[in-house]
Structure 1
Amino acid sequence: MKPYILAETNYKAIQDEKFELAILPWGATEAHNYHLPYGTDVYEADHIAAESARIAWEWGAKVIVLPTVPFGVNSGQTDILLDINMHPSTQLAVLNDVVEVLDRQGIRKLLVLNSHGGNDFKPMLRELGVKYPRMHLSFCFWFNILNRNDYFEEKGDHADELETSVMLHLRPDLVLPLEEAGDGVAKQHTVTAFREGWAWSERKWSQVTADTGIGNPKKATAAKGKQFFKDLTEKLGGFFYELAKTDGMYE
């Protein structure tokens, strides 16, 4: 039993605790090339949140990790079998209910730990910040915290070398042999602004990639995933600690 993981602890253990920070991991349920499980984003969120919270807890921060939300925005993947889409309006409703509980019970800091590229929490947290002025609401996307080029050779953003390496470290039992993976080749947008990244249009997944992956996973290894996971959770653990312990956010 880990006292900083709500799903594992019990009322006897926490009834007198004064938590400083709640962490809400948020993933997705979607195809990840041929070789990774549909729950990849959820498994990553679970493990990254738990290890980072362990570090912060052992340093003295009273953090609590809430159960991971398993569904994300997959509106560009409506024709991919069993990719479960949760609309942003639904995410806002879920977030509102969580924030309402925390605010009422005096846990005034919430960090959404995002584990899926289709989720966009900034406008939601802006709206909820007006509704719950006593709350400090924030989010981060673990995929973008470290410089991937320090760890991995291949570019990508979905079921790629990075994600495959992390899953080979965390849940190798759920990863098929890499010779069964697709190559993750993704078509580029024909419109220059979208291709250069200063304008946005949702990717229609089945038109962009044949195997649902974006990025070649074939150079992934468990050793790469282990080092990345260690460095990532150490940095996130420090962030959890600092966020939990900081009273004033500005100086």
Structure 2
Amino acid sequence: MSQANAPATGTKNGYRPLSHPERLDVLLHGIVNEMIALHAGKMQSDQGHPIEQFHGDNRVQTDCVRQFRTFEKRVFEFDHRLHEFEREVRRLGSSSGLIRAAYELRKHLLQIFEVFRSDSESIYLMFGEKTHCEIPDALRPHLSGHPGAMAKFKREIPELLKELSDDLDEVLDSLLEIPEFTDKRLPDSICAFQGWLEYRADGLEDFKGSCIRIRNLSFFS
């Protein structure tokens, strides 16, 4: 981490009292709202269908792009909130652990996003009317990096989900060290989202090797 992330001199656990805690509180509520939106949105597409039922049907392509765009919007809204949160924590002066946790949360969220983008691209190509069809812009890679890295993330998505849950644990622990934050709704919302992440991670591990499902975005969208 950069020097900006290091614990402030003369502070305990890198913590300095916030000059305007209410501003950070608003951002935290915004993040929780995005968590709830991610959680609730998956209910719209939880019923999957085996790929074989749709073979040769290009309606799957349309559905795939539509679902991914919805997923993308939710993830980027969440990421934007986290970025604001991270920036505000640095500006106001707070726990270095909170800054680190927010950074790790954003990193793992974007890695998971790229996994789902890659899966959606594969589904789109699988159901194209032609042998070689053009990939729509919505499904093109959004993150730069070595191609091999994405394959690693794809193999370990249950682990990534659990790491996301661990990041939230660190966020929560750091928040509880700040006296200005007394809103009990935040810990409850974060814990509920953690439970959902762990449930989904366990579900993915249980279904390793089983058939791919078209509505793979049901885990997050």
| TM-score scaled by length of structure 1 | 0.26
Structure holding more helix per residue: 2
Structure holding more strand per residue: 1
| TM-score scaled by length of structure 2 | 0.28
**More RCO (CA 8 Å, sep 6+):** 2
